[in-house]
Amino acid sequence: MTKSSDRKKRMQSMFGNVSPETLAKQASDSGEETPRTNDAPSRPRSSGSVRAMSDSLSAIEAENEELRRSLSDGERVVDIDPSNIHASFVRDRMDIGSDPQFPNFVASIEESGQQVPVLVRPMKDRVGHYQLAYGHRRWQACRHLGQPVKAIVRELSDEDLVIAQGRENTERKDLSFIEQALFAHSLKERGFTRKTIAQSLGRDGGSALPYISMLTALVDALPSDLLHRIGPAPKSGRPRWDRFAELYRKGALSAQKASSIDDLVESSDWVSMDSDVRLTRLIGVLETKKAQPASREIKNDAGKNVIKVTKTAKATQISIDQSASDGFSDWLVEQLPELLRAYSGKQETKR
């Protein structure tokens, strides 16, 4: 049996053994538009990793499974003006506009149409308006293109909405570790239980609740504005973020380290860095050890250390062992004004 045949049967089984052709006919009979196709030759695709292709297939299958469930429940896909759709009351993603892949996503929808509907619920206080549960990137792309959004409308409680929102992103593997943490923290701030938060992230079992506590504690340890300045950091998991939080220790950061962080974040290079590089650079700043001051010891004729000179960027400190140099420190202090005048005169001569 060929791979093509396997794929066809696999996709057909996800729609309850209804063929794609039959599904398309059902959508047509229901009065809904079928996604438009492009007769022009498709653009050659650049080769990617096998893992990336596998993740894309998993995402498509997860989307198709959601669509199959919706159709089996008798739900219809409708077209909604994107201006009548409003974001979820809790953010699960960082700024979509800063996502370097978003322009490609928009181009894909422009070329092939919106293949998978978003999920919305009617807004009780605004007739004809809807709140988004999931599909924020699809909604933003359609709004950018000025085309209607294909959506499934479903009555959802707040708890149902956040669970659907979180699970859809978890199945698609779209949320980075820090985005999950921020999402969990936002839900906690709104009074949702750890159990509900765990369900929204697809977590169950004995480790689910401690995991949620870990996520929210990490966000509490770091400034929210700095987290958003860093970005999603999709390649950075828990160990990197734990290390950053350990080094940062909000409220206990030295003035020197805080200044170094501010300098990096405000630098011209910051904007051009991807978010994973930003996190790595910040960890590097915090891991840099304070330079030890240079010191020098001066011995007397008997070979005993008498004077220690310690030099830093801001000052030079001279320490004299009184027991080894009786009266020397007093003599040196008396000589300092004359030494200073001699040095100043020497500097004037150089000019």
The pLDDT confidence band at residue 33, using thresholds 50, 70 and 90, is very low
Provide mean pLDDT across the span 113-119. Answer: 91
Rg (CA), the chain: 32
Q: Hey, what are 161's tokens? A: 């909405």
The pLDDT confidence band at residue 91, using thresholds 50, 70 and 90, is confident
pLDDT at 174 over 90: no
Average pLDDT, the chain: 78
| CB of 86 closer than 8 Å to CB of 33 | no
Provide mean pLDDT across the span 57-67. Answer: 54
Q: Is residue 134 classed as helix, strand or coil in its secondary structure?
A: strand
pLDDT of residue 221: 92
Residue ranges and CATH numbers for the domains of the chain are 12-23+56-171 (3.90.1530.10)
pLDDT of residue 20: 47
Helix (H) or strand (E) holding 153: strand 149-153
Q: 321 versus 195: which is more confidently predicted?
A: 195
pLDDT of residue 57: 53
Closest to 154 (Cα-Cα) out of 69, 59, 63: 69
| Distance of alpha carbon 208 from alpha carbon 210, whole angstroms | 6
The pLDDT confidence band at residue 300, using thresholds 50, 70 and 90, is confident
The pLDDT confidence band at residue 351, using thresholds 50, 70 and 90, is low
DSSP 82: G
pLDDT at 318 over 70: yes
| Distance of alpha carbon 123 from alpha carbon 125, whole angstroms | 6
HSE-CB of 333 using CA atoms within 13 angstroms: 6
pLDDT of residue 218: 95
HSE-CB of 186 using CA atoms within 13 angstroms: 18
pLDDT at 80 over 80: yes
Residue for token digits 């979820």? 88
pLDDT tens digit string along 192-233?
A: 999 999 988 888 878 899 999 999 999 999 999 999 999 999
| Distance of alpha carbon 232 from alpha carbon 183, whole angstroms | 12
pLDDT tens digit string along 241-284?
A: 999 999 987 666 788 888 889 999 999 899 889 999 999 999 99
| CB of 167 closer than 8 Å to CB of 135 | no
The pLDDT confidence band at residue 189, using thresholds 50, 70 and 90, is very high
Provide mean pLDDT across the span 87-114. Answer: 80
Q: 347 versus 241: which is more confidently predicted?
A: 241
The pLDDT confidence band at residue 117, using thresholds 50, 70 and 90, is very high
pLDDT tens digit string along 14-25?
A: 444 445 454 444
Q: Which of 51-55, 94-98, 245-249 has the lowest mean pLDDT?
A: 51-55
pLDDT of residue 38: 40
pLDDT of residue 308: 87
Phi, psi of 187, rounded to the nearest 5 degrees: -65, -40
294-299 and 85-86 strand pairing? unpaired
pLDDT of residue 217: 95
pLDDT at 331 over 80: yes
Torsion of CA 333, 334, 338, 344, to 10 degrees: 20
pLDDT of residue 24: 45
Provide mean pLDDT across the span 3-11. Answer: 47
